[in-house]
Amino acid sequence: MPYRLTRLLPAILLLFTVSGLQAESLPVPKAPSTGAKSFILQDFDSDRIIAEQDADKPVDPASITKLMTAYAVFKELRSGKITLNDMVTISEKAWRTPGSRMFVEVGKQVSVEDLLQGMIIQSGNDATVALAEYVAGGEDSFAALMNRHAETLGLKGSHFINATGLPDPEHHMTARDIAHLAAMIIREFPEYYKWYSQKQFTYNGITQQNRNKLLWRDESVDGMKTGYTETAGYCLVTSAKKDDMRLISVVLGTENAKARADASQALLNYGFRFYETHKLYEAGKQLANARVWKGESDTVSLGLVSPLYATVPRGQYKALAASMTVNNRIIAPVSKDQPLGSVQVQLGDAVIAGQDLVALQGIGEGSIWQRIVDEALLYFE
């Protein structure tokens, strides 16, 4: 059976420096009303959901779809299959695609970088189709690629028919999926995320502004994407960072552009005002030692693969407690990053964060004599 170590967090958190702890907890009111069909407010680092409404309801995402289009293109760039300097010949289909436009011309060649900015900043459907055709040969094939990425990312409420978000009965996403996808773009592709904060882009002598009005209203906002169709209503995904806390809000199906901006702003203000996020443990730092049997070493250091964060109501950080559970029969060989236990963080009776404890180094098998001795000792355990 595993064994458990439980301590108050402030004692364990000697692993890093903590300053500015709040002594008084603020009462947390109900999340603000948004007038949206669905919404979610999530902390980027801890993944804690701060507020939500119908977040798992599949809805028409309109141009929010282009977050997945961008993610798929970014993956191709990362793999080296395409480059930002590649020149894309604009097809008649791309040129004819209805809706918002970058104003590319049939037969002209446009760089992947310009098309990405035309899609992200100007929300150009023509640029989006051009990218889809270049990456996958056609928009249908590209939609299949989008669905494969959705499956890999665990987006259970999303299904894509096209790259643009033009209405289709089978094309949908959920607020929860969108928030997760937005976080993955920020986490995996910081070099491209900068485009989501760009306020305008000029192509072919035509300057268009980013439709995310919060980029002008709130200096903490640095992305991400708007969307609108008659069936979807007005939608907005927003990412904002204050000090060391980043929040992602998703607002879907409001009545107008002002309403989506106001609702997003209200959610962000609520999250920053009443919650705080702390890094509790660094990745790769030793949190515990565990006994190893039949190994070249009789102990292994345990830690985390990624940093562990917790989001709590302001002033409640001191009330956190952590417990570590470690397997009591660990037999060599042990591979690096092999799960050998877990750490859980609680606020009162609620578990609010957790992660596997893993081996920070590999442990090979010991000598024949060591294995014989440990086999005998295990008999009496």
Q: What does the pLDDT look like over 51-80, one tens digit per residue?
A: 999 999 999 999 999 999 999 999 999 999
Domain edge (last residue) among 275, 297, 317: 275
My answer on whether 72 and 127 are in the same domain is: yes
What is the reported pTM? Answer: 0.90
CATH of the domain at 299: 2.60.410.10
CATH of the domain at 103: 3.40.710.10
306 among known catalytic residues:
no
- The answer to the question of residue 129 being in a domain is yes
- The answer to the question of residue 176 being in a domain is yes
Annotated catalytic residue, options 66, 213, 225, 294: 66
pLDDT of residue 2: 56
- The answer to the question of residue 23 being in a domain is no
My answer on whether 112 and 260 are in the same domain is: yes
Q: Residue 306's domain spans which residues?
A: 3-16+282-379
My answer on whether 122 and 258 are in the same domain is: yes
pLDDT tens, the chain, 381 aa long: 454 554 434 334 333 333 334 445 668 899 999 999 999 999 999 999 999 999 999 999 999 999 999 999 999 999 999 999 999 999 999 999 999 999 999 999 999 999 999 999 999 999 999 999 999 999 999 999 999 999 999 999 999 999 999 999 999 999 999 999 999 999 999 999 999 999 999 999 999 999 999 999 999 999 999 999 999 999 999 999 999 999 999 999 999 999 999 999 999 999 999 999 999 999 999 999 999 999 999 999 999 999 999 999 999 999 999 999 999 899 999 999 999 999 999 999 999 999 999 999 999 998 999 888 868 887 777
pLDDT of residue 356: 97
My answer on whether 91 and 148 are in the same domain is: yes
- The answer to the question of residue 100 being in a domain is yes
66 among known catalytic residues:
yes
My answer on whether 233 and 370 are in the same domain is: no
Annotated catalytic residue, options 123, 239, 264, 342: 123
My answer on whether 264 and 311 are in the same domain is: no
Q: What does the pLDDT look like over 18-57, one tens digit per residue?
A: 333 444 566 889 999 999 999 999 999 999 999 999 999 9
My answer on whether 201 and 108 are in the same domain is: yes
- The answer to the question of residue 336 being in a domain is yes
335 among known catalytic residues:
no
pLDDT of residue 26: 64
- Number of structural domains (the chain) is 2
- The answer to the question of residue 292 being in a domain is yes
Q: What does DSSP say about strands 109-111 and 350-359: parallel, antiparallel, or unpaired?
A: unpaired
State the CB neighbour count (10 A cutoff) for residue 229.
Answer: 17
pLDDT of residue 27: 82
- The answer to the question of residue 211 being in a domain is yes
My answer on whether 151 and 10 are in the same domain is: no
Annotated catalytic residue, options 38, 46, 63, 301: 63
My answer on whether 75 and 8 are in the same domain is: no
Domain edge (last residue) among 275, 302, 319: 275
My answer on whether 357 and 232 are in the same domain is: no
Sequence-distant (6+) residues with CB within 8 A of 376 are none
Domain edge (last residue) among 223, 250, 275: 275
My answer on whether 228 and 320 are in the same domain is: no
My answer on whether 62 and 181 are in the same domain is: yes
- The answer to the question of residue 219 being in a domain is yes
